[in-house]
């Protein structure tokens, strides 16, 4: 990607050094969109070959429940491997049990109700891991129940998207057809999603600049003492099966919220695996 003097503000607009508005956040590149499927399949194959090493490298777990929310047009079957991974590490992964995530407004409400009931029945804080649209939902749940959420991890979640144009056009049309909403209407229903302030708990946003479904700039936020952005190599759809993402999830869940520290690739000798992180203006 060519370097420019443009900067992104929190509303999704770009401005040049003089402060004048120029263009909206761009969507995914054409080549990235065209190669999304084969790259996803490659990540799945890499997970099977690296499974044993992932288990060996994972830090000592801090056992607690983890609710996992699937992305748009996906269901709990898409998070099976991540849940199996976390189970073997000692966590208690919780499926969202709402069927296919069509983006319909009732699904977010149902997910909030499920989270509320789980937090009360378990009597402990729950971490949230959401892929794509599931991560947008995870952040909304965290804002509604901040005292019940231990940490939030989003995987390629376009919570910074404010209007159409920042997502693959075919995916946008499918979303409108399945949910009955445009991106603008979805945002209007979640006014807190437009807030740029960091969440009250440790938050990790995983993104890829080669994302073939959503514009990567919509997946990051300003960093703070308890929030971070971690860039990975990979596709959008494959994040739920990407071994590098699994390493991040295991590392972040093992953090004590009271002494939370940003992710450091050099701590696990993975400097070459994780590319430099981009900072939100």
* Closest C-alpha to 250, from 59, 30, 24, 49: 59
CB-CB contact of 140 with 186 (8 Å): no
* Closest C-alpha to 74, from 183, 204, 171, 206: 171
pLDDT of residue 1: 34
Cα–Cα distance between 33 and 39 in angstroms, integer?
Answer: 10
> What are 40's two structure tokens?
């996803």
The DSSP code for 214 is: B
Dihedral of the CA atoms 132, 133, 137, 139 (nearest 10)?
40
* Closest C-alpha to 129, from 246, 37, 19, 14: 246
Q: Which residue has the higher pLDDT, 125 or 13?
A: 125
CB-CB contact of 172 with 183 (8 Å): yes
CB-CB contact of 217 with 25 (8 Å): yes
Mind listing the domains of the chain with CATH numbers? 36-51+61-257+264-268 (3.40.50.1820)
pLDDT of residue 44: 94
Tens digits of residue pLDDT in 209-239: 999 999 999 999 888 999 999 999 999 999 9
Q: Which residue has the higher pLDDT, 97 or 11?
A: 97
Share of the chain above pLDDT 70, in %: 82
Local confidence band at 271 (pLDDT 50, 70, 90 cut-offs): low
Helix (H, G, I), strand (E, B) or coil at 168: coil
pLDDT of residue 249: 98
Local confidence band at 198 (pLDDT 50, 70, 90 cut-offs): confident
């Amino acid at each position: 990607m060519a370097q420019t003097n443009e900067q992104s503000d929190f509303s999704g607009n770009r401005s040049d050094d003089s402060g004048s508005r120029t263009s909206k956040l761009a969507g995914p590149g054409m080549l990235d969109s065209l190669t999304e499927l084969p790259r996803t399949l490659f990540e799945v194959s890499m997970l099977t070959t690296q499974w044993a090493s992932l288990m060996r490298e994972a830090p000592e777990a801090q056992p607690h429940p983890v609710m996992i929310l699937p992305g748009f047009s996906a269901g709990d079957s898409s998070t099976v491997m991540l849940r199996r991974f976390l189970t073997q590490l000692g966590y208690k992964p919780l499926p969202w049990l709402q069927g296919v995530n069509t983006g319909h407004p009732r699904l977010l409400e149902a997910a909030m109700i499920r989270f509320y009931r789980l937090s009360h029945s378990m009597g402990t804080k729950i971490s949230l891991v959401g892929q794509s649209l599931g991560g947008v939902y995870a952040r909304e749940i965290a804002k509604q129940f901040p005292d019940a959420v231990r940490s939030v991890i989003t995987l390629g979640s376009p919570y910074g998207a404010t209007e159409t144009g920042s997502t693959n056009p075919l995916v946008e049309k499918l979303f409108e057809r399945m949910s009955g909403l445009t991106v603008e209407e979805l945002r209007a229903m979640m006014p807190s999603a437009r807030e740029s302030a960091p969440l009250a708990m440790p938050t990790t946003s995983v993104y890829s600049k080669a994302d073939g479904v959503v514009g990567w700039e919509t997946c990051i936020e300003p960093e703070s003492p308890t929030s971070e952005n971690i860039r990975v190599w990979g596709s959008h759809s494959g994040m739920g099966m990407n071994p590098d993402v699994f390493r991040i999830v295991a590392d972040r869940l093992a953090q004590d919220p009271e002494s939370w520290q940003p992710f450091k690739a050099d701590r696990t000798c993975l400097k070459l695996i994780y590319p430099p992180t981009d900072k939100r203006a």
